[in-house]
Structure 1
């Protein structure tokens, strides 16, 4: 019987590696930690078939984090799940504007979703390096439209919103047109826990890279 948390995680990842091999799912070595973390979070090895990684997603994400990246989260569930202690060690911050009074007032006045207004506030902030969108498809759409209209692209977009209205379409648009590196999960599946898993896996890799360079 396995009871220690670290042993449970180690055994879980061993099982996941076996399942990936059994299904014939091959990923570049550098993205495997993220793939395994998403599978571990969802308990679903089939989800790996819909994960897509821009060729520069990992390198740009880690570089940004090591330079103290600020991360925008579309909802509080994403923001609360991030490894704040690890991110702080790298000098980074988390921003979530979904409950911001200015955002709420703008959403009420314009009839737009709070997620759209939160992205607009984040872009006006000019301090956001990584966008982690796990819940609101309209947040991803707003970001893509803003970049298309001339807003500076972020260092990395983690676009994994869940839903049956817009989610699959906007994620396909991200993969097709984004000038920024991205990580996405095609189709209707997604969610805050997946966004958190991806961000935390990147934070862990950035910390490991920093520690190895310090030795």
Structure 2
């Protein structure tokens, strides 16, 4: 019986590596820690088949973190899961505007989601050194980011786009892979969520440290 936390995690990762091998799935050395962290967090080995990494995603993400880049999060659930203590060691912080008063009013005025307005606010105020966009819950936030980039907004160093849902999520993630001028990490299909987004971010932070 294994009871020590570090030993439990080590054994879990060993099992995950064996399962990936049995499934015939292989990943580059730099992205493998992120894949293992997602599987470890969810307990679902099948997610590995739908995880997609831009070739520069991990390296650009690590570079942004080491440079003190801030992280935009679409919802508070993502914010609460990120290891902000470790992130602060790199000089970074998280930014979430979902409850911002201006965002709420603008969303009501235009009859659109707060997630869309949150992304627009983050894009318009890049003075806050936001260099990584993490979208784990709201598909419309991902669509807003893609549209902003199409209109000429400065691409971030990394987009982690793993929103969950049956309306728009799969389509917008496919669009991210097709059109994004920025490196990205995504999970194709309807699956996703804040837990997966957090797992990816925390794995990147650990690598950066």
Normalising by structure 2, what TM-score? 0.98
Question: Could you say what secondary structure the match of 2:36 adopts?
Answer: helix
Deviation at 1:2, TM superposition (A): 1.2
How do residues 24-173 of structure 1 correspond to structure 2 at under 5 angstroms?
24-126=24-126, 127-173=129-175
Deviation at 1:3, TM superposition (A): 1.3
CA distance in 2, matches of 1:154, 1:134: 17
> For residues 84-141 of structure 1, what are the alpha-carbon distances to aligned partners after superposition, in whole Å with 9 as ceiling and x for unaligned?
0110000001000001111111111110100000001111111210000000000000
CA distance in 1, matches of 2:32, 2:151: 34
**Alpha-carbon RMSD:** 0.6
Tell me which residue corresponds to 2:180. Answer: 178
Question: Could you say what secondary structure the match of 1:40 adopts?
Answer: helix
Question: Could you say what secondary structure the match of 1:158 adopts?
Answer: strand
CA distance in 2, matches of 1:140, 1:48: 21
CA distance in 1, matches of 2:25, 2:92: 33
Question: Could you say what secondary structure the match of 1:29 adopts?
Answer: coil
Tell me which residue corresponds to 1:202. Answer: 204
Deviation at 1:30, TM superposition (A): 1.1
Q: Please, which runs of 5 or more residues in structure 2 have no aligned partner?
A: none
Aligned length: 207
Deviation at 1:31, TM superposition (A): 0.6
> For residues 50-97 of structure 1, what are the alpha-carbon distances to aligned partners after superposition, in whole Å with 9 as ceiling and x for unaligned?
000000001100000000010000000001100101100000010000
Deviation at 1:186, TM superposition (A): 0.2
CA distance in 2, matches of 1:118, 1:30: 31
Deviation at 1:180, TM superposition (A): 0.1
CA distance in 2, matches of 1:30, 1:93: 23
Question: Could you say what secondary structure the match of 2:19 adopts?
Answer: helix
Q: Please, which runs of 5 or more residues in structure 1 have no aligned partner?
A: 208-215
Structure 1 segments (4+ residues) deviating >4 Å: none
